[in-house]
Amino acid sequence: MPALILVSGQYADFLLDEFGRYRRDYDLHTVASAAEAEELAREIRAQGGDVALFVAESVLPDAHVLEAFGRWRAVVPTARRVVAAHWSRFLTDADALRAGLAKGKFDAYLLMPRGVRDEEFHTAVTELLSDWGSTVAAPEVETVRIVSPVSDALTLSIRDFLDRMGMPNGVHHPDSPVGREILADHAGAASYPVVQAMSRTPVSVSSVHDVAIMIYGQPDDIDVDTIVDLAIVGAGPAGLAAAVYGASEGLTTVIVESEAVGGQAGTSSMIRNYLGFPRGISGMRLAQRARNQAIRFGARFFTGWPVTALVPGSDGAPHVLRTDGGEIRARAVVVATGVAYRKLRVPGVDALTGLGVYYGSAMTAARETEGYGVVVVGGGNSAGQAAIHLARYAASVTILIRRPDLAETMSRYLIGEIDYNPRITVLPCSEVVDGGGDGRLEWLDVRDTTTGEVRRREARGLFLLLGAAPHCDWLPESVVRDDNGFVLTGRDVPRERWLDGLPPGNLATTEPGVFAAGDIRAGSMKRVAAASGEGASVVPLVHAWVESVR
């Protein structure tokens, strides 16, 4: 079982009693000093165990608590770290430690429980343990089991999709006991990978789309045989917010998502500046909570189906969304497809996509980098979040940017965490010009953009988070876009497309009854909270339109 290490010179027995509720699932240990905690953590690791959480009193007898966290982090980078301050010191120590919390030196500053059933305290603890369990620990129960003899690009892509959907999964070799058990139920000759989802019959798959169909339905399962009020294309933050507010306001609502719910934000290992989550929340958990919230209000999700065309309605007829799985007729459409990361377009690197080269943070691939050096290309918040997450596993993380520094493109809190983390370095004025390896990425050539000098460096992982490319080629020409392909709305629409001298509504496009929200919209802020706000704000416009055409 993973360990919880409770560190206190004075209140160790009290903390042990409070943490008794975790005894069934975790090994509880108490120590009196930073040195004892470090030694114990080394022993646990040497024996093949793991440490999920350090809980330390705000004042330790032999070291400053922030120094102690740094030492423990060097031993177990993946462990979560909590200060549990005694109520007699809670306010006085808070000011001194607040800067360390902002820099990511620890994860939460809590008041020791003052009585029984302090659920506020334990909510914080269980959230951190849940985050640790979803990103570090092997799942106790696998919702989806994969059989594959090799960890190839397809297998990794499937796992990444499942992780983003919040589905515990595992990979098993064909010769393992679990692998043989699954293959025994597989009809015919197996081509790998073989996937068994939720104890159903195992199936050989050739794409992530096959897995999505397997879990969420066959092609004829998009069976919306009525005209819905609102169809949302894309289940990122904007689409999810529109789904929650639309369905809760009584609109019949359908959401179509081509990949995993959460979109680009769903790949973020930890979003720390989203309103209402002081300890942060992973993109996956935020997306799954929003999905469940929308379903509670009656929204319907169809996952794994890219929309191939939008046929606008006219004279009161509904709009039609076409997919390979069926058609959806809707009075109003919200385009919330978001953006994809731009391709690097370096042939030697692109050829290794999925084999050490990844677009996005690739949370699953992070586990494969333990002990190696990796490179993150990009200077935005997503790149910063990815680097911090990767630093829990990789021996070193290099953030590679073309600009002189991160200040113009990244939030200050992330820059502070990166500056503090000894495993992360920033390489400015640089770009990747080549890469290669024997079957997977092993090296990169990096050019200094100021001198032109090219240097080769070892790299077992390259994570590309290169700005935004819109995904809306399926839209008709009547929906006007800017030169970069982003959808124009409101006053950004060219004046010649205004009606009676008036621009479309703030989030309305040039096609009546079609709206845009989130990153796909020209001029959007490219932040999770901003996208969520636009998804909520579009619903009154949709409501007014639906009432006008009913």
Mean pLDDT by runs of 10 across the 550 residues of the chain is: 95 94 96 97 95 96 95 94 92 88 90 87 94 80 91 88 88 94 85 90 90 71 78 96 97 92 84 86 91 96 90 90 90 94 87 89 82 93 92 94 93 91 95 93 95 94 88 92 94 92 93 96 90 96 91
Residue 403 counted as domain residue: yes
Query: What is the pLDDT, as a whole number, of residue 63?
Result: 94
Residue 227 counted as domain residue: yes
Query: For residues 287 and 266, what is the distance between their CA atoms, to the nearest angstrom?
Result: 6
Query: For residues 328 and 335, what is the distance between their CA atoms, to the nearest angstrom?
Result: 14
Order of strands across the sheet that contains 169-172: 169-172, 144-147, 194-197, 203-204
DSSP code string of 119-188: HHHHHHHHHHHHHHHHHTSPPSS-SEEEE-SS--HHHHHHHHHHHHTT--EEEE-TTSHHHHHHHHTS-S
Same domain? For 158 and 197 the reply is yes
Same domain? For 231 and 271 the reply is yes
Residue 252 contacts by C-beta under 8 Å, 6 or more apart in sequence? Answer: 226, 228, 229, 230, 298
Cα distances from 403 to residues 103, 346, 349, 463, 525, in angstroms, run 23, 19, 21, 18, 20
Same domain? For 126 and 7 the reply is yes
Give which of 321, 335, 338 is closest to 287, Cα–Cα: 338
H helices of 233-346, in order, are 237-248, 283-296
Q: Are strands 300-303 and 253-257 parallel, antiparallel or unpaired?
A: parallel
Residue 212 counted as domain residue: no
Residue 521 counted as domain residue: yes
**Angle 545-548-550 (CA atoms, 0-180°, nearest 5)?**
105
Residue 213 counted as domain residue: no
Query: For residues 441 and 461, what is the distance between their CA atoms, to the nearest angstrom?
Result: 7
Q: Tell me the backbone φ, ψ of residue 426, rounded to 5 degrees.
A: -110, 130
Query: For residues 542 and 357, what is the distance between their CA atoms, to the nearest angstrom?
Result: 41
Same domain? For 200 and 225 the reply is no
Query: Is there a contact between 432 and 462 (Cβ–Cβ < 8 Å)?
Result: yes
Residue 194 counted as domain residue: yes
Q: Tokens 């060219």 identify what position? A: 494
Query: What is the pLDDT, as a whole number, of residue 219?
Result: 44
Q: Which domain holds residue 316?
A: 219-340+469-549
| Boundary-marking domain end, from 449, 464, 479 | 464
Q: Is the peptide bond before 476 cis (omega within 30 degrees of 0)?
A: no
- For the domain that residue 13 is a member of, what is the CATH number? 3.40.50.2300
Same domain? For 328 and 354 the reply is no
Query: Is there a contact between 403 and 380 (Cβ–Cβ < 8 Å)?
Result: no
H helices of 367-451, in order, are 381-390, 412-420
Same domain? For 482 and 334 the reply is yes
Residue 60 contacts by C-beta under 8 Å, 6 or more apart in sequence? Answer: 7, 8, 9, 33, 34, 68
Same domain? For 452 and 310 the reply is no
| Boundary-marking domain end, from 113, 135, 157 | 135
What is the number of domains present in the chain?
4
Q: Tokens 């999810």 identify what position? A: 240
- Cα–chain-centroid distance for residue 301? 19
Residue 158 contacts by C-beta under 8 Å, 6 or more apart in sequence? Answer: 146, 193, 195, 205, 208, 211
Same domain? For 17 and 128 the reply is yes
- Please give the single-letter amino acid code of residue 434: D
Same domain? For 263 and 276 the reply is yes
Query: What is the pLDDT, as a whole number, of residue 222?
Result: 60
What kind and span of H or E run contains 204?
Answer: strand 203-204
Same domain? For 335 and 475 the reply is yes
Same domain? For 277 and 223 the reply is yes
Same domain? For 130 and 12 the reply is yes
- Please give the single-letter amino acid code of residue 63: A
Residue 60 counted as domain residue: yes
What kind and span of H or E run contains 111?
Answer: strand 108-111
